[in-house]
Amino acid sequence: MAYNYGRDEVKGSVHSLETFGLVDGPGVRFVVFMQGCALRCKYCHNPETWAGGGSLWTPNQLFDKAWRYHAYWKSNGGITVSGGEPLLQIEFLTEFFRLAKKKGVHTAIDTAGQPFSRDEEWFEKFNTLMEYTDLVILDIKDWDNESHIRLTGKGNDNIKDLARCLSNMGKPMWIRHVLVPELTDNEDDLRSISDFISSLKTVERVEILPYHAFGMPSWERLGLDYKLKETQAPSEESVKRAEELLHTADYTAWQK
């Protein structure tokens, strides 16, 4: 049974909006970037989302804003909530998606999965959210738990658990991996990620996202030390090799 969150009493902290997104789910998307994230990824392109701030919206206000653009979505677009980390604002997200599904809008979450927990209260909220969620776009940032801690500041056992949970409940997933030279391009780790993905039953798409340093100016503006200043984007050959190892071409269900 769904939680009663007080509907419009809950407010979400929003970093920014994109009204015509083309890469965060199928079709044309209205993309909401939420404020707040517990990870501190070394390559984060938007560190402004880490801490507080942002503008406050009620679910109704935000959906009314999104609905103005529904003519662009046609038959395969919709709404994606990204971040920051959207699962940190799970009550707001649930109510926002509930409003979207009342209008038949396709809903997607772009998440790193870090807040996921089997804690009874949180897990009940998560299950309610999934009732209104059509697609989960999940980042697998690294395979080894210790390497993941060095890369992001947090471990990834619960993130793997989230992927298994989504698979078991039959929830469609896209998997993404950012390829960073000398950090996340180890072939053994990529093979381990590939084996893990192949064990999941609902993965529709797998993407390799080549590292870029577009976020460095934001780090400098915030007075943060960007550790990857000397890191170059991966070569075309490295990206192609990673795609081969993760068998990205085998996951085409999203196109059907």
Q: What's the CA gap between 49 and 88, in Å, rounded? A: 12
The answer to whether the peptide bond before residue 83 is cis (omega within 30 degrees of 0) is no
- Phi, psi for residue 139 in degrees, rounded to 5: -85, 130
Q: What pairing do the DSSP bridges indicate for beta strands 106-111 and 78-82?
A: parallel
Q: What's the CA gap between 229 and 197, in Å, rounded? A: 31
Question: What is the model's pLDDT at position 193?
Answer: 97
Question: What is the model's pLDDT at position 4?
Answer: 44
pLDDT per residue of the chain (256 residues) written in tens, 0 to 9: 334 444 558 999 999 999 999 989 999 999 999 999 999 999 998 898 998 788 999 999 999 999 999 999 988 999 999 989 999 999 999 999 999 999 999 999 999 999 999 999 999 999 999 999 999 999 999 999 999 999 999 999 999 999 999 999 999 999 999 999 999 999 999 999 999 999 999 999 999 999 998 889 999 999 999 999 999 999 999 999 999 999 999 886 544 4
CATH class entry, domain 7-255:
alpha beta
Question: What is the model's pLDDT at position 99?
Answer: 98
Question: What is the model's pLDDT at position 208?
Answer: 96
74: left (phi over 0), alpha (psi -120 to 50) or beta: left
Contacts of 32 (CB under 8 A, 6+ apart): 14, 17, 62, 66, 79, 80, 81, 82, 86, 96
Q: What's the CA gap between 15 and 25, in Å, rounded? A: 19
Q: What's the CA gap between 183 and 3, in Å, rounded? A: 41
CA torsion, ordered 71, 72, 76, 82, to nearest 10 deg = -120
Tokens of 219: 């780090």
Nearest Cα neighbor of 254 from 16, 51, 23, 83 is 23
| Bridge partners (DSSP) listed for residue 210 | 179
Question: What is the model's pLDDT at position 7?
Answer: 56
Q: Which residue is it, tokens 């070394």? A: 42
